[in-house]
Amino acid sequence: MEASNDIFVDEKVFVRYIPNFMNGITEKAHPEYGGLSNNARIGICAPVSTRKINQIFSKEELSALAKEFNDETLINNDSDFWKEYVTDKYGMSSSIFPIFLKKEGAMYNKKNPIDFIYIRVLEDSESVGSSIQNAKERGCKFAMIKEKDQFKKEKLDISAAKIASKLYNNYEENEEVLRYLLSNLGKPVSATSKGEFLQTEAWKEMNSSPILFASVLADEFLDIKIDISNLLRYKLINKVNSLYYFEKGEAIMLDGDTNDINGAAKYLKSGIGQETFLMLKAKLKVLTK
């Protein structure tokens, strides 16, 4: 098959790090933000170690690469071209592997033959997802994003940040809402937490996770869900395995629905549940005086 350079097209691909906040660090200025040190590098091994070269690249691609690098041996699985830490006769490194990824991510362009190789190898790597959603579902540290999707993601990020900022401004003086927000974002705070502390923590969450932040505060049942959390705290209703019940054991839900948090909120907001809801709130008022 005659080699073709048509595979080296002007097409950018971005690699983005997927933050993991298991270490509890959400401040972007912190060197360990997102679960990876600023100085850390994740190495993606050469495909020769898995002997998958002929699976990753087509015959046409290997032929084009052999012509580009003037190395007919690279069409073979055991070619030195695909090995890590290879040196030339002067002791200088001549290998393009491993591929090192850092927290700031990377950009590759298929028109560059080495970048083309990196893109293909990264697409096959278990450490790299084919999209941000795919990476999160698979638990990958990195995601690959095509140029057209990169700008789409940036627009979505900007939109989410704007919405989150507006919601923060709406609720920054409401301590009850901020406590509920932080609890739902995995940052439970004391019922006695006040003002500036709550605002500071909410601000951090707004900047680190604007989409999650907005999903909590833009909830149409926000007020009722806050009431539900208070009713639970004072044992006026019960919660078992994320399902909600009245004191006598009846499920809090409309017929045909489920008694999870959304089902319970729908019931209490409905005309059917309104009388019971008002009675519970009256009891709650007495207990919180």
* Whole-number pLDDT of residue 49: 62
Q: Any idea what the Cα angle at residue 81 is, between residues 101 and 110, rounded to 5°?
A: 55
* Whole-number pLDDT of residue 209: 83
Structural domain boundaries in the chain = 5-152, 160-287
Mean pLDDT, residues 19-29 taken together: 74
Mean pLDDT, residues 164-177 taken together: 94
* Whole-number pLDDT of residue 3: 47
* Whole-number pLDDT of residue 150: 66
Report residue 152's pLDDT band, with 50, 70 and 90 as the boundaries: low
Exposure of 200 by Cβ count < 10 A (0-12 exposed, 13-18 middle, 19+ buried)?
exposed
* Whole-number pLDDT of residue 239: 94
**Do 108 and 45 touch, CB atoms closer than 8 A?**
no
For 212-264, what is each residue's pLDDT tens digit?
A: 899 899 999 999 999 999 999 999 999 999 999 999 899 999 998 999 999 99
Q: Which pair of structure tokens corresponds to residue 107?
A: 């950009």
For the chain, the average pLDDT equals: 88
Please give the share of the chain, as a percent, with pLDDT higher than 70. Answer: 94
d(CA 1, CA 63): 8
For 54-108, what is each residue's pLDDT tens digit?
A: 889 999 999 999 999 999 998 888 888 998 877 777 878 778 999 999 999 999 9
